[in-house]
Amino acid sequence: MSLSQVEAADTALEHPEEASAGLTRDAFRRLRRNPLAIVGASLITVFVLVALFAPLLAPYDPVASDLTDIRPGQFPGPSREHLLGLDEQGRDELSRLIYGARYSLLIGVVSTAMGATVGLLLGLLAGAFGGWVDSLVMRAMDVMLAVPGLLLAIGVAALLGRSITSIMIAVAVVNVPVFARLLRSSMLVQGRSDYVLSTRSLGVKRRKIVLGHVLPNSLAPVIVQATLVLATAIVEAAGLAYLGLGSEDPRIPEWGRMLAVTNAYLSSEPLLALWPGLAIVLSVLGFYLLGEALREALDPKLRR
Amino acid sequence: MLRFAVRRLLLLVPILVGLSILVFLFVRALPGGPETALLGENATPQRTAQVREAYGLDRPLPEQYLRYVGQAVQLDFGTSTRYRTPVVDEIQRRFPATIELGVSAMAFAVGVGVPLGFVAARRRGTWIDNLSTAGSLLGIAIPVFVLGFLLKAVFAVELGWLPVAGRQDQQQFFGADHPTGFFVLDGLLTGDLPAAWDAAKHLVLPAIALGTIPLAFITRITRAAVLEVVEADFVRTAEAKGMTRRVVTRRHVLRNAMLPVITIIGLQTGLLLSGAILTENVFAIQGMGQLMAGAIADRDYAVLQGGILFLAVVFVLVNLLVDLSYGLFDPRVRESG
């Protein structure tokens, strides 16, 4: 190999990273200018802080119940001691909401991470090997996608029994095909690009091309998707809890279940339905707005 | 066009085979079988054996699977252990409720979303545009069951404007004739207008709850598509030719902008099934979602096996219809076939 060839190879190898670093910086600058990204990031920050510092923020123990003031179908509303009133078991509603953030965040993050890990591994297998591996993996994903997502999640949750862990797994399973498909198609696009062709023509090993170039360059849509999936994971987890598939321990303050429980008191205590509903919407909105803003920032086509 | 449809239908076969195996194994992996759900934890071994034999659960798994597939291709999904009725009858009874809900939700989403997105694009930057953009961002973030619950709390429980639950007032219309199972249509067909009106009122809140997320997506996509199309050369040409704005809008802008909108409608129709499970739960509508959720709780193997397979077929067929409908709007698709 002559010196000029080596140099050419070096530039070809350096080029994608250089470009992607520039793109990342660009994207971050665009992100900071987008008011929706700021709103989304703020909502997420508040949500995470509340979850982290729940023991400091909550005025009462979220599971301690005091039935002295509770009459059937009538509970003390907001007061100076209990800002959002008491629930049907005489527990402080605000404290339960604050602790509920922990469960929502935990379930959302863990299930997204699990779904993304398995999905990305499958997508990597399919995208890197192609051929029958690709066919096999993708047909399996098709089968999973042919079942309505929530039904799949309900099924998995039923299979594993009622617990927080099974909700996490159920939500993760639904998202596996999403990540697998995304990474695969993103890798296919990258695989056909000129820089891969030039790297391959320089004799770089296939494994190095896939892991060193194609994979890192295929990750941008995955990051966007992960943020959006976090939003849907929180919704799905709350939905499963709402349907009664969450933890068997009724004391656990989970927003979806808190909402479902108020069904019986809707006519006398409608506000108790509003708070958990609002909490779910705001946390979901945060991840959703940030995800959308990220998508806009990373997609050059949307630059305007 | 026809070849495309046939090829897509053939692709359904491997998916269904895979799915049938998966569903078959899944229901048998559920802790506690139908005999426990039917007889309780303290059933005698003899009774348990009797029940297992009656439903063919004592046979080896491969034999059970082959029989299930053999019957399924004849549209026989066995007998529900919970209702003691054929699964096909149960699906036939429940499915119209889900379709009725899904169609009215989609009608709401398309009926409001397309005009709203169009107006927002045409009045870009005005308060109408900003309001619809903010509304659609919020709309996507509100989970179906939260919105349904809040709508129910406000409009049904607090204000009493609309019914709280169910598909029809059971006291007033008990024993009403239901030739099709679609309650609004049934009322119109049998000439019972109050019954049709009552059924329609029962649909309003569930349809809004289920239709809001698709509405938000459709509004956004319509707006984006119209904005893109109005800048296209052929629109400028059409305007330069002296065509009136209305003709340009109808013939060029709307028709071209509809393509991405149909894609979104198709994607959202698939998601509707998930949302319907929750909506049916919030408003106590006895549709497919309630049937499936109940079947998982009761370990109703036959209903689960038949129902999931049925829903998957519906899901794939809906997506096929969506793909075919591109041809209606785009001659390029029609001709390439």
Q: Which of A224-228, B283-287, B332-336 has the lowest mean pLDDT?
A: B332-336
Q: Which of A33-47, A89-103, B182-196 has the lowest mean pLDDT?
A: B182-196
Sign of CA dihedral B117, B122, B124, B130: negative
Average pLDDT over every residue of B121-128? 85
Q: What proportion of chain A, given as a percentage, has pLDDT over 70?
A: 86
Give yes or no for residue B132 having a pLDDT over 80: yes
Res B337: pLDDT: 42
The token pair at A22 is 């520039």
Res B327: pLDDT: 66
CB-based contact A149 B31, cutoff 8 Å: no
Entry pTM: 0.80
CB-based contact B146 A266, cutoff 8 Å: no
The torsion of the CA quartet B115, B119, B122, B125, rounded to 10 degrees, works out to: -140
A289 touches B: beta carbon within 8 Å: yes
Phi, psi of A138 (to 5 degrees): -70, -35
The confidence band for B208, taking pLDDT boundaries of 50, 70 and 90, is: very high
Shortest Cα distance from A104 to chain B (angstroms)?
14
For A180-200, write each residue's pLDDT tens digit.
988 888 888 887 788 888 888
Q: Which of A76-80, A101-105, B233-237 has the lowest mean pLDDT?
A: A76-80
Shortest Cα distance from B274 to chain A (angstroms)?
5
Res A22: pLDDT: 64
Query: Counting beta carbons within 10 angstroms of the beta carbon of residue A249, is it exposed (0 to 12), middle (13 to 18) or buried (19 or more)?
Result: exposed
Q: What is the DSSP secondary structure assignment for residue A202, as one 8-state letter?
A: T
Average pLDDT over every residue of A218-240? 85
Residue B143 near residue B216, CB atoms below 8 Å: no
Smallest Cβ–Cβ distance between B308 and the set A147, A231, A280 belongs to: A147
Residues 6+ apart with CB under 8 A from A31: A37, A293, A294, A297
How crowded is residue A60: how many other Cβ atoms within 10 Å of its Cβ? 17
Shortest Cα distance from A277 to chain B (angstroms)?
5
The confidence band for B64, taking pLDDT boundaries of 50, 70 and 90, is: confident
Give yes or no for residue A75 having a pLDDT over 90: no
